[in-house]
Amino acid sequence: MGFLSSIFTWWNGATWGTSLYTRRFGGKMGEDQWGNVYFESKKPDRMGVTRRWVIYKGSNDASRVPPEWHSWLHGQAADVPDKALPPARPWQQEPVPNLTGTHQAYRPPGALEAGGLRPASTGDYEAWSPDQA
């Protein structure tokens, strides 16, 4: 990416202005398993609230924020997930980003992308007609 794209394209990562704002007013709080970096403002605003934000590694997609960091970003957890949350349970699965629009997206049986073959009709369906009242 060139210099101009880092100024104007917000969908490919942090813009130049966001990077400057982060360096000046933010402090790094942590990083998740996907490489996203989380920040918190150094000083609270006039209402006493500290601002929290994320700089994504790669494209900006909110579904790439794990649940524990999502709760921290929205102020549901006072401390970062490493300190505030208990360790993960053995039955918990890793979060998965939104796969819509990719080749890994779920396609039900009968979908055109999955081959378009639907199961045969069972004969128990009777179409509605306005003459049948």
pLDDT at 110 over 70: yes
* pLDDT given for residue 95 in this prediction: 82
Residue-wise pLDDT for 35-94, tens only, equals 999 999 888 888 888 888 888 887 788 888 888 899 899 988 888 888 878 888 999 888
pTM: 0.62
Give the whole-angstrom CA distance, residue 55 versus residue 18.
9
Q: What percent of the chain has pLDDT over 90?
A: 5
- HEC letters along the chain: CCHHHHHHCHHHCCCHHHHHHHHHHEEEEEECCCCCEEEEECCCCCCCCCCEEEECCCCCCHHHCCHHHHHHHCCCCCCCHHHHCCCCCCCCCCCCCCCCCCCCCCCCCCCHHHCCCCCCCCCCCCCCCCCCC
Place of tokens 């505030």: 84
The domain limits of the chain are: 3-114
List, as own/partner pairs, every contact residues 121-125 make where C-beta atoms lie below 8 angstroms and the sequence separation is at least 24, other chains included. none
Pairing of strands 37-41, 52-55: antiparallel
Q: Predicted confidence band at 11 (pLDDT cuts at 50, 70, 90)?
A: low
pLDDT at 120 over 80: no
Closest CA to 83 of 38, 34, 30: 30
Give the whole-angstrom CA distance, residue 75 versus residue 50.
9
Give the whole-angstrom CA distance, residue 12 versus residue 21.
17
